[in-house]
Structure 1
């Protein structure tokens, strides 16, 4: 079931209403779903490997705490922040400005032009740190059990 962007996110506490949460794809909803966004975002950093290590470890610790409380939505949001740590630091590793595409007017049917790569080994290392924690989270046995349970209970077509 796709992520539902039509919900009134500022006025929903997903800890109290997990039935409204849809997993979606990738990082969908990572900056919308409260109270988790506010609980995790403050720790999300990837400027250099030391900061990325500290950040990813803290977010993984939060992930485990959510699992301990059988809070799938919180665990999934922490997983999404770890994934976003990987994808954003990878983006900056490849493009110093953080912009992947050339700014220009697109004509109907034309493809976006990707900017040239400007590899930053520091950000690449940050990305690798987040990727390892993200994989650890998304393959966690308890997470996978809660994921299946959430899908069975709430995401039935």
Structure 2
């Protein structure tokens, strides 16, 4: 996908979730859209902060690890540092949590509500080095829009 494709997907997602206040419903639709649009992935979904852990949220793909400790693995690192993690080879990532042995690369984008990280978007691929700088830019664009909608006051929706 190029950046124009990501802009189109972002508009599609915005139309789906705009005005809906249920976080789980919105994340489920985002997962479904990304699963339809992204090639060569084997898992896409969300982990949500609960105490000092990330807990599995809506996703598309094989069953996944239910809980990930804050700061552990690719997802926990992205959440704890509030930085995108784009990993070319997950087997080279120290502390990688292998929920699916078929996954070889991964990208994780944290997202916030009221300035605090509340979860991550996690996408896995069976290919090594699947995720490019364009993928990162496009997914950050998408999650920036999602964050904006999540942070709107309820009564303005």
TM-score, normalised to structure 2's length?
Answer: 0.31
Structure with a larger share of its residues in helix: 1
TM-score, normalised to structure 1's length?
Answer: 0.31
Structure with a larger share of its residues in strand: 2
Larger radius of gyration: 1
